[in-house]
Amino acid sequence: MPFAPVLHAEWIKIRTLRSLVGSLAAILVATSAFSALAAADADADGTDPLFSAFFGVSFGQIAAIAFGTTALSSEFRGGALRLTLAAVPDRRRWFAAKATAIALPVLAVGLLTGVVTLLVGKAVLGASGPSWAEGLRGAVGCGLHLTLMALFAAGLAAVLRSGVATLSVLIPFLLIVSFVIGDLSGGVADFLPDRAGQVALHSTWDGALGPWSGLAVTALWTAAALSAGAWSIHRRDA
């Protein structure tokens, strides 16, 4: 079967699952709401204005991870994957279509989230807010980071073959390892997938990574997770 109809079929699966649509909406709501709260509480003299405007991405990425995890792990419930592979025997083509069907809506919602969050942040911060040039970089970085995190979760879900197991690994990692242990480990923590991608959301950064190199590091994590997921789908029984 050609790639286009496989992608269309996977998109139908995603848009007809209410939990997935809810996760997409949660990306926008969580990011913009928590960013507005952080911006309202920001100290104009000592706070990074760009990160104040995009602070909520730390919470929005949890919704993105939930989306990527659920979209992929749903194939392992009730024998759905066996039916899918009966229609699309080429497992690599199916996995590529599934990853694309996950990435495109998250990218669209992520970019919209970035623009909305920027506008809200500038409105709340006023004159102390980020410049438009920085803000647009942050909006694009926001969309790319959320997309990469959703795909990272999807790749891990393909390896673990369980949404519960995937979220049990990633959510504590984001809330405990990255925030707590990461702050104590120096520059090594900058190369964690969630922290590296968020460098683009800072006006200045003292670490070794820049805005785009940070996103590149997150992209490498994502590529590794997707490669492992593709290998797992190809080698293991449905």
Q: Is residue 195 part of a domain?
A: yes
- Residues near 190 by beta carbon (within 8 Å), at least 6 away in sequence: 196, 199, 207, 208, 209, 214
Q: Dump pLDDT digits (tens) for 158-199.
A: 999 999 999 999 998 887 777 676 665 557 778 889 889 999
Q: Is residue 193 part of a domain?
A: yes
Per-residue pLDDT at 44: 57
Q: Is residue 110 part of a domain?
A: yes
Per-residue pLDDT at 49: 87
Q: Is residue 96 part of a domain?
A: yes
pTM value is 0.93
Q: Is residue 238 part of a domain?
A: no
Per-residue pLDDT at 21: 94
Residue 179's CB is within 10 A of a number of other CB atoms, namely 14
Q: Dump pLDDT digits (tens) for 59-94.
A: 999 999 999 999 999 999 888 888 888 888 889 999
Q: Is residue 212 part of a domain?
A: yes
Residue range(s) defining the domain that contains residue 43: 3-231
Q: Dump pLDDT digits (tens) for 38-47.
A: 888 876 555 7
Higher pLDDT among residues 167 and 235, named by residue: 167
Per-residue pLDDT at 237: 65
- Report CA torsion sign: 186, 223, 204, 55: negative
Per-residue pLDDT at 117: 96
pLDDT at 202 over 60: yes
- Residues near 65 by beta carbon (within 8 Å), at least 6 away in sequence: 149, 150, 152, 153, 167, 170, 171, 174
Per-residue pLDDT at 127: 79
Q: Dump pLDDT digits (tens) for 102-159.
A: 999 999 999 999 999 999 999 998 878 888 999 999 999 999 999 999 999 999 999 9
Q: What's the total number of domains in the chain? A: 1
Q: Is residue 24 part of a domain?
A: yes
Per-residue pLDDT at 204: 82
- 193 SS3 class: helix
Q: Is residue 237 part of a domain?
A: no
Run of H or E including 46: none
